[in-house]
Structure 1
Amino acid sequence: MIHKSKLIATLIDKNRGLLTSKNEQKEILAAIARLEDDNPNPHPFASKKLLNGDWKLLYTTSQELLGIDKFPFLKLGDIYQCIRVEDTAIYNIAEIYGLPFLEGIISVVAQFEIVSEKRVSVKFNRSILGLQSLIRYQFPHKLISEIESGKKFTAIDFNIQNREQKGWLDITYLDKDLRIGRGNKGSVFVLIKVSDNTD
């Protein structure tokens, strides 16, 4: 699709939305909506192989995520959402940069439940915040393997007990390397696949 490649090229220059003006955001959202109308997989949970894997955030309107960049001395690095379909698990991982040797990581682990042909409810159950050096973070796949093994990290690592820590996500576009979602707070997420997690 020509408009898909054009959209991706446009978003790459926007630093996940941090460098987007209001007018540019309107144009981007309109382009996203057009792509959603051409969704080749309107039943994404029937395409579990496509859905499964590690996805990197390309663009979002979520102020919760983009707001991390506004903290003093902190810069938002890559953000990943890693889906493990068989385990109904989602791993959100944000890399944080700033002062030398104080690079950080924020990870939230959640379980999802399919509630309609394109919607999942999401319940957050664990949060990990710490320095990449102490966690020995290298890349998302390794961190997830350690989380799945039950490892406790040298970090702020706690279970989330609050029942309010939940939400939902609609998957509005899915193909072999691009996914678009819309969350319960009205935010849009555009992600590109970096690994299918088949190894």
Structure 2
Amino acid sequence: MALATPSSSSLVSFCPLRTHSAGPSLCFASLRLPSRRNSRDVEASWSGGAHRLSSTAGAAERWRLGVSFFTSLNSKKRGNPEEIKEELLEAIAPLDRGAEATEEDRERIDQIAQKLEAVNSVKEPFKSGLLDGKWELIYTTSRSILATKRPKILRPNGKIYQSINCDTLRAQNMETWPFFNQVTANLVPLNARRVAVKFDTFKILGLIPIKAPGRARGELEITYVDEEIRVSRGDRGNLFILTMVDRSYRVPT
């Protein structure tokens, strides 16, 4: 999603959004005793049957242990979400929201984000209630948001927020110091994780409203979300990582 001022090139593709011109069962066998056998034969038959049943039970137990073992291995292979989040936040911390990231840094963070996406348990984020509120952008690969081509003093140096309200299908991006630009948008669900975004109003310095052009639109996919962190990917391939700061915030309608 984008933040912009008409007098500069600070169109912030915050989602990022492309500006368009114009998916063993167990088998038990019964034991039949022959009709003509002496007691020893009968006893031997039952003893042998019990041994075979014991062997079958042992095999079943070994099978269960094997399943448990491989399930445990698979769980460890996928990773613990809390450990992955800690790894991700530590990797992001020194990178100034991504402005100081090297290509190697970006590849590493994308790999960690993919690990987190792989353990995502929220299949329908827009129905989960977890998206609602104000999120702080802590990392992105979007150069337009980071304004890396400008001198550092002319970049957005304060916090950057994105807010979503799923009940009204509204979203808002907000820069703080030094520009305080804002933009609001309508969301149109495309599937359980992706929405189309159509911007409606920019606010320059947070005060001067300007109607967004019709081409100001794009898409956003939520690839991981929980109570604390959100990972999103835009239709231009950029990665966005945000943390929750205010669950009660409402986007202006």
* Structure with the bigger percentage of helix: 2
Residue by residue over 1:82-126, the C-alpha shift from the partner in whole angstroms, topping out at 9 and shown as x without a partner, is 1122221101001233xxxxxx21111101011101101000000
SS for the counterpart of 2:99 is coil
Aligned to 1:59: 139
Q: What is the TM-score of this pair, normalised by structure 2?
A: 0.63
The answer to whether the 8 A contact 1:93-1:106 is kept is yes
Count matched residues: 168
Residues 96, 106 of structure 1: 8 Å contact kept: no
Choose between structure 1 and 2 for higher RCO, CA contacts under 8 A separated by at least 6 residues.
2
Displacement after TM superposition at 1:56 (Å): 0.1
Q: Identify, as 1 or 2, the structure richer in strand.
A: 1
Q: Which 4+ stretches in 1 moved above 2 angstroms?
A: none
CA contact (8 A) 1:75 1:96 kept: no
How far apart, in 1, do the equivalents of 2:153 and 2:249 lie? 37
Aligned pairs (5 A) from 1:54-93: 54-67=134-147, 70-71=150-151, 73-76=153-156, 77-93=158-174
Match of 2:9 in 1: none
1:109 correspondence with 2:184: yes
Q: What is the aligned partner in structure 2 of residue 184 from structure 1? A: 235
Secondary structure of the equivalent of 1:70?
A: coil
Between the aligned residues of both structures, percent identity stands at 29
Pairs within 5 Å for 1:12-161 = 12-48=93-129, 50-67=130-147, 70-71=150-151, 73-76=153-156, 77-97=158-178, 104-130=179-205, 153=207, 155=208, 157-160=209-212
State the distance in 1 between where 2:234 and 2:97 align. 16
Deviation at 1:198, TM superposition (A): 6.7
1:28 CA displacement: 0.8
Flag structure 1 segments of 5+ consecutive residues without an equivalent. 98-103, 136-152
**AA in 2 matched with 1:25:** R
Rg bigger for which structure?
Answer: 2
> Does the CA contact (< 8 Å) of 2:99 and 2:148 recur in 1?
no
Aligned match for 2:221, one of 170, 179, 192: 170
Cα displacement string for residues 41-80 of structure 1 (whole angstroms, at most 9, x for unaligned residues): 12112202x1100000010001110116725741322110
2:200 counterpart SS class: strand
Asked if 1 retains the 8 angstrom alpha-carbon contact of 2:134 and 2:249, the reply is no
Q: Which runs of 5+ in 2 are unaligned?
A: 1-81
Q: Secondary structure of 2:121's match?
A: coil
What TM-score comes out, normalization by structure 1 length? 0.79
Compared CA separation, residues 198 and 182, structure 1 to 2 (3 A): closer
CA RMSD of aligned residues (A): 1.8
Q: Within 1, Cα distance between the matches of 2:194 and 2:180?
A: 28
